[in-house]
A and B are shown apart, each in its own frame.
Chain A
Amino acid sequence: MAKWNQETKAKLNEKVTANVNDIGSLIRHVIRASKSPELLAQAAKNFASQESVIQSSSETLKKMNLVRAQYQYQQSAIERR
């Protein structure tokens, strides 16, 4: 009786393993079919390529800050005269 129980348990174990693997492959297929990872990867790449653009924007803004300081200086000079 105990031996039969052990065999049943072993079979159940195998079945459970097989089921879990099947569910894994099923869900992998579902995810791949909806092309979500490709779209998201593309979006991330695009966003990453904007980094250089953002960098140049920040540099330009710093220069603009300097120019603004020069404006102030010139305005004060003009007012003095």
Chain B
Amino acid sequence: MGSEQSSQLPAGAPGSEIKSQRDEDIPYTSYSISKPISGDNPKTSPRNAANRKRASTMPAQTVSRESDGSSNQPGQLKHTIVVVADGQVDIKDPDPELTRLNTIPMFYPIMRGSLNLPTSTRDMDSLEKLDPKHLLILCLRYQEHLKQLSESVAFDQNALCIRIKEIDCMIQKIMNTMTEKQKRYAKYAEQFSRTSETVQVLNRVKDTMNDIIPKMEALNKMLPKEEQLEPFQMKDIGRK
């Protein structure tokens, strides 16, 4: 494109005051076609003057007419070179995470010496020295920590196991004593029932005896003196 720049914008540019007829028909080519390559003032160029005239009089024009009008121009004072190039094509985001990964700035690793083998600026080698010792101490400490934790947990678990066994033993003993007691109590209860039954029977016997005795005495009196039995005596223990 021409190196000289005119102060006025070419016809198709968004902010320009001039409008060529071609702009209205083919908007995407207006910037490249109507931009003057030479240093001529676009106002004084005859083509644009003719365009302005045409724009003022006849707004609708076909493309062929305009191209015919412009084909008169090449070979004359100005060479309009039109360069066809791809416009700004926006690449769509294929993978948002990949783009995010690509936006990470380049950084050096902590241990810089391990990155590139050609020896370049090994100044800050302090990061590579003395690292393993501390790391070893840290790992050993962690290992010790794990060991102690696992030991305490295992100890508690074993104590619980022993306790469970003890409790089971005690429960079995108690169960045995309970069953023995229960059998004895069953025996006692049966004895109790038997004794109470016997007592009831005895009471009934006493009642009936007490009922019978006066009748027997009456009967005895009625008998002749020879047949009389001794007066019936009974030990009244529990009888009032």
Contact = CB atoms under 8 A, between A and B. Distances in A.
Interface of A: 5, 8-9, 11-12, 15, 26, 30-31, 33-37, 39-40, 42-44, 46-47, 50, 53-54, 56-57, 60-61, 63-64, 67-68, 70-71, 74, 77-78, 81
Contacts of B192: 77-78, 81
Contact of A50 (B142, B144, B165): B165
B139 A40 contact: no
B109 A60 contact: no
Given A61-B171, A67-B178, A74-B186, A35 B150 contact: yes
B172 A60 contact: yes
B139 A26 contact: yes
Contacts of A50: 161, 164-165
B158 A64 contact: no
Contacts, number: 97
Given A70-B186, A74-B186, 20 more contacts: A12-B109, A33-B143, A34-B143, A34-B146, A35-B150, A36-B150, A39-B154, A40-B150, A40-B154, A47-B157, A57-B168, A57-B171, A60-B171, A64-B171, A64-B174, A64-B178, A67-B182, A74-B188, A74-B189, A81-B193
Overall SS of chain A's interface = helix
Report the interface size class on chain B: 35 or more
Interface in B123-177: 139, 142-147, 149-151, 153-154, 157-158, 160-161, 164-165, 167-168, 171-172, 174-175
Contacts of A12: 109, 115
3 cross-chain pairs, A with B, having the tightest CB-CB distances, nearest first: A36-B150, A43-B157, A34-B147
A52 to B, nearest CB: 10
A47 B160 contact: yes
Contacts of A68: 178
A8 B175 contact: no
A71 B167 contact: no
Contact of B189 (A30, A63, A77): A77
A77 B193 contact: yes
A77 B185 CA distance: 11
Nearest to B143: A34
12 contacts: A11-B116, A30-B143, A35-B147, A36-B150, A37-B150, A39-B153, A42-B154, A56-B168, A60-B175, A67-B179, A67-B182, A71-B181
B171 to A, nearest CB: 5
A78 B190 CA distance: 9
Contacts of B196: 81
